[in-house]
Structure 1
Amino acid sequence: MDKIKTENTETEILKAAKEIFQQKGMAGARMQEIADKAKINKALLHYYYRSKQLLFEAVFKSAFSLLAPQLNKVLNDDSDLFEKIRKFTENYVSFVIKHPYLPNFVIQELNKNPEFVQKLRSEKNFPSIEKFKLQVSDAINQGIIKPIEAEQLFINIISLNIFPFIGEPLLMALVNVDKESYNKILENRKTEVAEFIINSIKI
């Protein structure tokens, strides 16, 4: 098969799969539907990806490969701790709004395929928090923030960013809003989460 044609076909498959997964999730997506969207037959789709799981992993890796360098850059740049929290949150929330299937996929994979996370960890640009940890320690020593373990702070940031996407149906019901209003809430969390975190730790 011609190399350029192969690359184009694979790109179209991933594009189609991303759209279907976003609309219907992993469980609701069908390989035939993805093949139709990519304008290829199902046999050719299976030539590239033997199963829906493998296709989903490919879509996830493709998206994660775009997100990971962004987060890694923020975590390891020279901005101060508060600005770093703001940039990390804005980048993360903005990305997940565009790729809403990612958080649920991470949870799903953690439960049934923990080895997949190890595969991701070996990828180039997998986020490192070592510099972030040093900055937290320095900020504590300088009396800028209250004592807190850097790992705890990072988990707090991730948790506050990710849960509104994972728990969307429940949270929409609890706060009694429609999808349009909830999307506005998610958009506002680009800044709300960072300011909440900063206000909770600064002296």
Structure 2
Amino acid sequence: MKKTKDKNTEEQILNAAENIFQFKGMDGARMQEIADKAGINKAMLHYYYRSKQLLFEAVFKKAFSLIAPQINTILNDDSSIEDKIKNFTSNYIPFIIKHPYLPNFIFQELNRNTEFVSEIQKNIELPNINKFKIKLNAEIEKGIIIPIKAEQLFINILALNIFPFIAAPLIKAITKIDSEAYQQLIEDRKTEVSTFIINSIKSK
């Protein structure tokens, strides 16, 4: 008789895996450790996910599916560009604090698997910047924002929000701060990033 996968067991596995990946990363995590954390045996874990890579991708898709709709809403609602930047940062940074492995995983997968974005798009709708672009152009025409391409502004927003998580060890070493001070620095960036970007694009 063919086995069926139980939703509750699958949720237990994903929660356990996310916890382990968060503290040990992809390379440091072990399937046996994840199975133990989920309260199942290793054979059961392999029945649900044949490899650590597949499990990591499932954890990523679950987490990304939570933030993608939020980003899409921010980009496509009727708020001003200034509010969009503030809302993006105030939503994104707390989310990554809870899922710190995501930025590195995305970049690793993009380098390792050129079809990664296409695979993600099959299950998750990626954020769309069309309305963001229209809103930005309208504010540029009104003289609220200096001329800047929407793509360039969006890249700036992403880069300033993502980089501190990817380069955490380097930032700590250069600035000579410990983990506690680094966490405070990240907390401060919830407002620092949006203030910096807004001041750089507002018409004087």
Deviations 1:21-78 (A, max 9, x none): 0000001111111011111111110000000000000000000110011111111111
Q: Tell me the distance in 1 between the aligned counterparts of 2:10 and 2:123.
A: 20
Alignment of 1:75-90 (within 5 A): 75-90=75-90
Q: Tell me the distance in 1 between the aligned counterparts of 2:46 and 2:4.
A: 18
Alignment of 1:41-56 (within 5 A): 41-56=41-56
Q: Tell me the distance in 2 between the aligned counterparts of 1:14 and 1:52.
A: 11
SS, match of residue 146 in structure 2? coil
Q: Tell me the distance in 2 between the aligned counterparts of 1:90 and 1:14.
A: 26
Report the counterpart of residue 186 of structure 2 in structure 1: 186
SS, match of residue 115 in structure 2? helix
Deviations 1:158-185 (A, max 9, x none): 0000000000000011111110110011
% of aligned pairs identical? Answer: 64
User: TM-score under structure 2 normalisation?
Assistant: 0.96
Report the counterpart of residue 156 of structure 2 in structure 1: 156
What is the deviation of 1:114?
Answer: 2.2
Structure 2: which amino acid aligns with 1:78? D
Report the counterpart of residue 172 of structure 1 in structure 2: 172
Deviations 1:111-147 (A, max 9, x none): 0012121122343442111111111111111111111
The count of aligned residue pairs is: 201
Q: Tell me the distance in 1 between the aligned counterparts of 2:123 and 2:51.
A: 22
Alignment of 1:1-203 (within 5 A): 1=3, 6-203=6-203
| Gapped regions of structure 1 (runs ≥ 5) | none
What is the deviation of 1:94?
Answer: 1.0
Aligned Cα root-mean-square deviation (Å): 1.1
